[in-house]
Amino acid sequence: MHGTQLPSEWVRRWTHLVPPGSTVLDVACGAGRHVRWLRAQGYAVVGVDASPQALSACAGLGELVCADLENGPWPFAGRSFGAVLVTNYLWRPLFPTLVQSLAPGGVLIYETFAQGNETVGRPARPEFLLQPGELLQVCAGLHIVAYEDGFLSQPDRFVQRIAAVREIDVGNAPLRYLLQS
């Protein structure tokens, strides 16, 4: 079942940017690999997925919402989160909503398949693959802390991933985003 693997290295690497005590939204959470990991790190978690079966695998770990994000309304209207996390999921019409759902100081951690993946496996259809630089465009109003667009092996896949923060005003002092936790 999708979501039973180990947490993504990208997610583990950038979770330290999530403001302490905040709530993390895991979009298309599947069976909850990141819900479990984030909960173990002390965060309150909200998981959303269209599959009730997948959500049942993470019962009791936080707030779980069964919703069709592609054909229904956004189930979190009016709410904001200390982090919005998306892995291995792409629905472009949701991009503005994801960015708007970040609280001041909140971080978007996003990792999914990119153009080129059609040469090594699935997904292969263009509507499921990010175009070069697409996540940079999505996060244009955020502070980009990290971005990668390239090839990973074992398993072979092309990915694009980003960690971007909705900055808060702290006067003249520069904000420090640690590149290693």
Instruction: Report domain extents, the chain.
Output: 9-165
The stretch 79-97 carries a mean pLDDT of: 97
* pLDDT of res. 3: 52
DSSP structure class, residue 98: H
pLDDT in tens, 60-75: 999 999 999 999 999 9
Cα 14 from chain centroid? 11
The dotted CATH code for 9-165 is 3.40.50.150
What average pLDDT does this structure show over 6-35? 95
Q: The pTM is what?
A: 0.94
Q: How confident is the model at residue 131 (pLDDT cuts 50, 70, 90)?
A: very high
Q: Nearest-5° angle of CA 29, CA 34, CA 40? A: 140
Strand order across the beta sheet in which 63-66 lies: 63-66, 44-49, 23-27, 81-87, 102-113, 157-165, 143-152
**In the predicted model, what is the mean pLDDT of residues 119-131?**
94
138: pLDDT strictly greater than 80: yes
Before 20, cis peptide (omega within 30)?
no
pLDDT for 1 equals 46
